[in-house]
Structure 1
Amino acid sequence: MKQPINIFWFRRDLRLEDNHGFYEALKADKPVLPIFIFDETILSKLPKDDARVTFIHENLQAMQDILKKKYNSAIAIYHGTPEVVYKQLIENYAIASVYTNRDYEPYALERDKNIESLLTHNSINFKTYKDQVIFERDEIVKKDGTPYRVYTPFSRVWIDEYNRNQTSFFPSEEFLNNTLKDTKLPNLSLTDIGFQEAKVKVEHYTVTPTLIADYEATRNFPAQDNTSKLGPHLRFGTVSVRKMVKEASKQQNITFLKELIWREFFTQILWHFPHTAKDCFKPKYERIEWRNNEIEYKAWCDGQTGYPLVDAGMRQLNATGFMHNRVRMLVGSFLCKHLLIDWRLGEAYFALKLHDYDMSSNIGNWQWVAGCGVDASPYFRIFNPTTQIEKFDKQHEYIKKWVPEYQELTYTSQIVDHKEARERCLRVYKEAVS
C-alpha cells in the first residue's frame, strides 16, 4: 500500500524560508513531497538561453542541496504540462492534498482551475495560500466593494491596513524535516529541458538601510545605479515580500515602500480586470490608429533611434536584462507617442528581455505611458527625450556607458523629429479619444 503524502508545488516562491503554502503543508499531518514543474507551455515561448530559466534552475538546485544534505529529501523536478505531470503523480503516490501559493495572472488562474478539477475528480484537496503579496484580490477595495483604479488612495488604504494588522511570517524553514525522505526524485539539468546556461545572469539584489533611506534622492539617476535589483527576486519568490516590506516600513522615507505597493496595485488591477492583459483599460484608446512601422520598431529595439537616452536604455536592456525605471518610462513613451507604435509591441519586447518581467506591473506601466490604463499619464504628456537628459543624466555618464559613439559622426541620425512627432501624436490621440 502506498504511503499517504501531501504535495507542495513550488511556482513563484523559490525559497525554503517564510513560504506560506510550504509552511501549511509542512505543518500538516503527512510527509511533504515538494515539486516543481518546468511548464513547457511557458518554456516554448522563450529563447533557449533565457536568463530567467537559468535563474530558476540555479535556485532550485540550491534548495535541493539544502534538502539533500540536511534532511535526506529533495524537490521532484518535472518537465511537461502540469496536467500530464499531475496524472503521473496521482498514479505514483497516494496524495491527500496538494498545497501551493496563489498566482493571479490569467494563464495561472486557468491552469490552477484545471488542476483543481483534476485533483477533485481524484478526491484530492487543492489548498492555495497568499504569499507573493501582502494584500490580494478584494482585501484593499473602496467602501462600496469596488476596486481602486487610482494608485494614491489605494496606497493610503494599503499603508493604513498594513499598520493596523501585524503581518504574519511563516517559518517553513523550521519544519523541513517533515519533507518526504527520498533523494532519488527526478532532478533535471538545463539540457534535459532543452535549455542552456545563460551568458547574462540575474543580478543579486541589494536592500540595505542606506539604499532605502537614500532611495528617493537617488532613484531617478540611471548613472548612479542605486536601485535594489529586487524585481526578479520578488517575481520568482527567492525573497519574501513580507520581509522586504518590513525592512522598507522601518525607514522614515517611504518612497521605497511605495514602489512595493505599486507592484501590489498592478497585481490587483490585473486580477480585477483580466482583459487588460491584452486590451486597454480605457476602451476608447483601442481606436488609436497606430503606425506600427516595422523599421522604426526595430530601431527602437536595437537602441538605434538617434536619441541617446532612449538608445542607452534599450542597449542596457539588451545587454543586461535590466533597465533603469526612469529610463523605462522614457523609452515606453517614445515608442507609443513619438513613433505611434502599439504599446502591446513594447510590452511583448520587455516580456522577452526583462529579467524582472512581471505581467501585471509590465502591462500596468506600459498602459500608463500609453495613456490608456488605470491612473494613466494623460495622453498629452509626452516626454522630451532631449530635456530628459538635462534632468537625469546631465553629465552624460549613463549615455557614455551605453552609447559611446553618441557624439561621433557614426551615431545614427534621429529617426523622427521631436516637434513633428509630438504634434502628430496629439492629433492622432485626440481623434481617437475625443
Structure 2
Amino acid sequence: MKHEKALVWFRRDLRDHDHAALSAALAEAGEVHCAFVFDTEILAALPSRHDRRVQFIHESLLELDSALRAKGGGLIVVHGPASTEIPQLACQLGVSAVYANRDYEPGAKRRDAEVAARLAADGIAFKGCKDQAIFDGDEVLTQAGKPFSVFTPYKNAWLKRLTAADWAEYRCTGQFAPGPANGIPTLAELGFAATDLHEVGIRPGMSGAEALWDDFREQRILRYGSLRDFPAVKGVSYLSVHLRFGTLSIRQLVREAVSREADVWLSELIWRDFYFMILDRHPQVVSQAFKPEYDAIRWADWPAGFAAWCEGRTGYPLVDAAMRQLKHSGWMHNRLRMIVASFLTKDLGIDWRLGERYFAEQLIDFDLSANNGGWQWASSSGCDAQPYFRIFNPVTQSEKFDPEGKFIRRYVPELTKVANKYIHAPWLIGRIEQEALGVVIGRDYPGPIVDHAKARDETLARYAVVKR
C-alpha cells in the first residue's frame, strides 16, 4: 500500500498526459503534488521584460493547472531560484521524493545536481526520468560503445533500436494532492508584460499544440518532404515551440510518423534526439566549436554588418525577409535558418556565436541543443556539418525556394512592385526602372552589403587555416 508523498517538478513538459515523471510519481507514491518554478536565475538573464516565451509558459501553466484541478490536483507555482525553491518546497510538503524529467543543457544539469544534493541532505530522493527524448544516455552508441558524431549512422542505429515500447504513452493516473488556493502569479507579479503572442498567431498550451498537430497530421505530414523547404507555402508543422515547452509529447509524434511511414518527418525528430545527445555528451559546444580546429578561424569584426543582418537590411531580399520574419514573429522557417546562418558566417565572415546568441534572444522556440547544432552545422564547425567550401548563394537559394518572391514580398514590402525576374537581386534593375517602381536601390532598399562571389573567396581563405 502506498504511503509516501511525492513532488513532480514540471519544467519543459507542460502537459498532464504522456508525462514520464508524472506517470512514475503517480505509480510509486500515494499522493502527488505538482509544481513549477519561475526560475529567477533564468528570468533575470532575459534581455527584455516583454518576452513571448514567458507569456507562452504562463498561459500554458494556466491551462495545465486547470487540467490538473479537473483530476483533483493543481499546480504550485513559485518564483525564485529553483535550486533553493524546490528543496524548500519538498521539505514543506513532507515528500519522500522529487520527480523531474531530464534536461540535457549544461546549466540545467548543474542545477539538478545541486537540487539533488540538497534534497539528499534532507533524506529526499531526486528521480530523473527520460521524457523529452526517445533515446538518451547510453541507449544509442557506436559498435565501439561511444557516442555518435555523424547523423546518418546515428539515425540508422536509432531506427534499429526503436520498438513500439519506445513510443508507448505513459499513463498518468493516481492520487493527486489538492492544488493551492492562491493560484498562479500574474505576468506583472513576475515582472513581465504581455506581448503580441496571439497577434503573431501563437496559441499556447496543450490545446494550441493539439490544434497544430491535428492540422499537420491530417493535411501535410505525408507531403512534408516535398513542401518543407518553401517558406511561402504552409508545409511544416509549426510545432517547434510546443516541443520546446512540452505541451505535447514526442512519443505521440514518433508513433504517428512510424504508423504513417512519414520517414522525412521522422528523420527531423531523430535530428532532435541527435542534438540532445551532442549537447549532453559534449557540453563544450556551448562556447566552442565541436571540431576544435575551427576555433582557429579569425572572424571579421564588423558591428555594422552584424546590425544590418539583424535588422534585415543586407540588400539580399530572402535574407532580409527571413530576419524580418524572426523579428516580427519570433519564429523562422528552417530552410531560412540555414540560409541566414550561412550568410552571416560565410558572406559576412562573422562568428557563428554572435548569430547563435541573437537567435537565442529572438526565437520563441529557442532550444540550446538545436540552435547550437544548427549554427555549428552552418558554420561547418559542428558534428556532421556542411563542408566549409559549400557556401549557400543567397540569390540562387532565393530563386529555388521562393521562386515567385511571395515570401519576400510579405516581409520586404519595399519590393512589392518588383517583377519576379528581379525580386531575388533587385540591384540588377536599371536606374530608370527603379525610379519608375519607386524602389531606388540605396535609397528605398539597400544595395548588397557584400559581393557574394568576393565574399566566397574570402571565406575559403579564412577557412584555409582549418585545412592546413
Which category of TM-score, normalised to the shorter sequence, fits these structures?
over 0.9
Indicate the residue corresponding to 1:27 in structure 2: 27
Indicate the residue corresponding to 2:85 in structure 1: 85
State the Cα deviation string for residues 105-140 of structure 1 (Å, max 9, x = none).
101100000000000000001111100011012111
CA positional deviation for 1:4: 5.7
Indicate the residue corresponding to 2:463 in structure 1: 429
Letter in 2 for 1:278: S
* Matching residue within 408, 411, 418 for 2:445: 411
* Matching residue within 262, 266, 269 for 1:260: 269
Indicate the residue corresponding to 2:115 in structure 1: 115
Q: 2: distance between equivalents of 1:339 and 1:391?
A: 22
State the Cα deviation string for residues 238-281 of structure 1 (Å, max 9, x = none).
00000011111122340001000001111101111110111001
C-alpha spacing 1:241/1:413, structure 2 compared with 1 (3 Å): same
CA positional deviation for 1:90: 4.4
After TM superposition, the structure 1 = structure 2 runs for residues 325-336 of structure 1, keeping only pairs within 5 Å, are 325-336=334-345
Indicate the residue corresponding to 1:188 in structure 2: 185
Matched, 1:127 2:118: no
SS at match of 2:5: strand
Letter in 2 for 1:81: P
State the Cα deviation string for residues 382-420 of structure 1 (Å, max 9, x = none).
100011111111101010111121342111111111111
Indicate the residue corresponding to 1:105 in structure 2: 105
Q: 2: distance between equivalents of 1:321 and 1:182?
A: 33
SS at match of 1:191: coil
Identify which range, 406-415 or 330-339, moves more after superposition. Answer: 406-415
C-alpha spacing 1:93/1:345, structure 2 compared with 1 (3 Å): same
Letter in 2 for 1:429: Y
* Matching residue within 294, 305, 326 for 1:296: 305
Contact 1:72 1:183 in 2 (8 A): no
Identity score, percent: 41
Indicate the residue corresponding to 1:394 in structure 2: 403
Letter in 1 for 2:343: F
SS at match of 2:78: strand
CA positional deviation for 1:433: 3.9
TM-score, normalising length from structure 2? 0.89
Q: 1: distance between equivalents of 2:413 and 2:456?
A: 27
Letter in 2 for 1:48: R
Indicate the residue corresponding to 2:367 in structure 1: 358
SS at match of 1:192: coil
Indicate the residue corresponding to 1:372 in structure 2: 381
Contact 2:7 2:90 in 1 (8 A): no
Matched, 1:51 2:60: no
Indicate the residue corresponding to 1:61 in structure 2: 62
State the Cα deviation string for residues 145-191 of structure 1 (Å, max 9, x = none).
1111111111111111114755332111x33xx11124325521111
Letter in 1 for 2:118: L
The answer for unaligned runs of 5 or more in structure 2 is 419-438
Matched, 1:229 2:271: no
C-alpha spacing 1:186/1:118, structure 2 compared with 1 (3 Å): farther
Indicate the residue corresponding to 1:199 in structure 2: 196
Contact 2:73 2:178 in 1 (8 A): yes
Contact 1:71 1:181 in 2 (8 A): no
C-alpha spacing 1:90/1:73, structure 2 compared with 1 (3 Å): closer
Q: 2: distance between equivalents of 1:363 and 1:251?
A: 30
Indicate the residue corresponding to 1:159 in structure 2: 159
Contact 2:379 2:388 in 1 (8 A): yes
Q: 1: distance between equivalents of 2:106 and 2:237?
A: 28
Equivalent pairs counted in the alignment come to 428
Contact 1:289 1:432 in 2 (8 A): no
Q: 1: distance between equivalents of 2:387 and 2:451?
A: 21
CA positional deviation for 1:209: 3.8
Contact 2:312 2:320 in 1 (8 A): yes
Matched, 1:317 2:318: no
Identify which range, 292-301 or 398-407, moves more after superposition. Answer: 398-407
Letter in 1 for 2:148: Y
State the Cα deviation string for residues 338-372 of structure 1 (Å, max 9, x = none).
11111000001111111111111110110000000
Q: 1: distance between equivalents of 2:83 and 2:304?
A: 41
Letter in 2 for 1:430: A
Contact 1:215 1:226 in 2 (8 A): yes
SS at match of 1:147: coil
